[in-house]
Structure 1
Amino acid sequence: MEMEHINENTIRVLIESADLEERGVTFLDLLGNHKQIENFFYSILEEVDVDEQFHESDAITFQVLPNGNGLELFISKGGPLNDQLDFSSASEDLNSDEFSQYIKKQMIQNAEKSDNKTDEYVSHTEDETKEIVLKFNEFEDMIELSKMMHLDNAVTNLFLYKDIYYLNLIFFIDELTERSADEEIALALEFADKTPVTQGILEEHGKLIMEKNALELTRHYFK
């Protein structure tokens, strides 16, 4: 892990994949496990010794950016920036769940490439979509599928349910070009299996790990 002062108000921390492994944390944990997010980033703050770098009363803002080898964490003092949370190191009423949601939101937003388009598609009627739920024997199969399947006209959601990973694929039929939905499903079945588990069951009883762009996010974080 490397640390440098960008200026008197900002510290840049480079967190490589090896740093995550040493702490027993994966990118998947940071995307889906609130407690892991909280513990990991507070351990980083302790190592950086923010209280020593800044005054104890300084408000702290975070920005998390993915890069090819891991994450870049920018820690700044001063007033809160737009769409960022303001944490005071002297405060005792920190909302850890809010912090976890904030970090996850940043990681997803910075890795997504075409979210605006999928937001528009989500409003389509059921008649315009074809949907399937697949289950993986192990998460490595999801990683391999993400390398092979590049979808411009679909929403992909990844769930964890009873310790099994499920991928919910929603295709927008009117927008498909090179391959039909059936051809894409045939490719997915090389890495996953059909399941009677429905999207409704996953939404009610499962845990949403990656939303809308699960394939893109997996490809980005698990190269």
Structure 2
Amino acid sequence: MEKERINENTIRVMIDNSDLKDRGITVMELLGNHEKIESFFYNILSEVDTEHDFEDDDQVSFQILPNRNGLELFISRLDEENKISDILDNITNFSSKQPANIDNISDKRRQELRQSDKGDIVKSKVSSSDHKDGSQENFENTQVILALSDFENAIAIANSLKIENLVSDLYLYEGAYYLNLLVPDHSVSQEQLKNELAIALEFSRISHVTHEVLHEHGQLILKHEALEKIKSLFS
């Protein structure tokens, strides 16, 4: 287990799978049942806060970013000058400085993908410039944003959907998880799309939160291939 002090209010702790095994807990338990592992978080805090900067009466927030080797735990102290939005900014700013795969979705494409305030399933035309092969054909995509009650539902959806070329982003916003799905219409029939979405809705509901709100105010946990990454971790 390693730690890094990001600023006076936030500590980043890297916990690998062997550490979790030694402590008798799994990543799935950490993501699926927050109450159960509260003592685990505070035990970690007591181990890494060697300078006792986090007093017993401080309010503390814990944020988890899972990865293939374990997880990153961000421990943040809350006070009047350090709100939740600042904590998420700390995590986002830190992550933006780390090496990462380039998001294949262009800014232009993101701009075109809009969702109505009623949480409708939206179709949007995407230009050929977004094709990896540079083809000149225009096509439409279907965008759906799903609200999840917990992370285990994201695992269930990841292991259930069978849509090729599916683009998926996982967000955390106001304590809830959201999946932003972008389905290329040329790769799936309307009947198949309807059936796949029916499966997804067994574990979620259509969200009234727009992609713009998630992008601006939510925490992006997994980008572009969220469902594939979740499936590789938890299948």
TM-score, normalised via structure 1 length: 0.50
Deviations, residues 109-161 of structure 1 (Å, cap 9, x unaligned): 5xxxxx99x659x9596230111111111111111111111332221111000
CA contact (8 A) 2:155 2:230 kept: yes
Relative to structure 1, the CA distance from residue 100 to residue 20 in structure 2 (aligned partners, 3 Å threshold; closer, same or farther) is farther
Q: Which amino acid aligns with 1:20?
A: L
Q: Taking structure 1 as reference, are residues 153 and 19 closer, same or farther at Cα in structure 2, changes over 3 Å only?
A: same
Partners of 1:99 and 1:162 in 2: CA distance: 20
- Measure how far apart 1:163 and its partner are: 0.6
Tell me how far 1:192 sits from its aligned partner: 0.6
Q: What's the counterpart of residue 17 of structure 1? A: 17
Deviates more, 1:158-167 or 1:142-151: 142-151
1:145 maps to amino acid: I
- One-letter code aligned to 2:218: G
Q: The residue matched to 2:159 in structure 1 has which SS?
A: helix
Does the 8 A contact of 2:163 with 2:188 survive in 1?
A: no
In structure 2, distance between residues paired with 1:198 and 1:175: 24
CA-CA distance at 1:25 after TM superposition: 8.5
Bigger share in helix? 1
The correspondence for 2:169, drawn from 136, 146, 157, is 157
Tell me the distance in 2 between the aligned counterparts of 1:138 and 1:188. 14
Q: 1:97 to 1:119 in 2, by over 3 A?
A: closer
- Number of the residue aligned with 2:188: 176
Quote the residue 1:11 is aligned against. none
The residue aligned with 2:201 is 189
Query: For residues 178-222 of structure 1, what are the alpha-carbon distances to aligned partners after superposition, in whole Å with 9 as ceiling and x for unaligned?
Result: 963222211110111112111111111111111111100111122
State the Cα RMSD in Å: 4.0
In 2, the alpha carbon distance for the partners of 1:100 and 1:175 equals: 32
May I ask how many residue pairs the two structures share in their alignment? 143
Asked if the contact 2:92–2:219 (Cα under 8 Å) also holds between the matched residues in 1, the reply is no
Residue by residue over 1:63-105, the C-alpha shift from the partner in whole angstroms, topping out at 9 and shown as x without a partner, is xx94xxx46xxxxxxxxxxxxxxxxxxxxxxxx9887556672
Distance 1:183 1:142, change over 3 A: same
* SS in structure 2 of the partner of residue 180 of structure 1: helix
Structure 2: which amino acid aligns with 1:163?
G
Structure 1 residue 175, shift from structure 2 partner: 2.0
Identical positions, percent = 28
Indicate which of 123, 139, 147 corresponds to 2:159: 147
8 Å CA contact 1:153–1:176 kept in 2: the answer is: no
| Contact 2:145 2:179 (C-alpha < 8 Å) held by counterparts | yes
Would you say 1:220 and 2:216 are equivalent positions?
Answer: no
Verify the 8 A CA contact 2:169 2:222 in the aligned structure 1: yes
* Change in 2 beyond 3 A, CA 1:161/1:104: farther
Which digits, 9 at most, give the CA deviation of each residue in 1:11-65, with x for residues without a partner?
Answer: xxxx863423539884898xxxxxx9xx9xxx8xxxxxxxxxxxxxxxxxxxxx9
Q: Is 1:207 matched up with 2:219?
A: yes
On the 8 A contact 1:159/1:165 being kept in 2, the answer is yes
Rounded to whole Å, the distance in 2 between the matches of 1:212 and 1:154 is 9
3-state SS in 2 of match to 1:220? helix
Corresponding position of 1:50: none
Residues 97, 204 of structure 1: alpha-carbon distance in 2 compared, 3 angstrom cutoff: closer
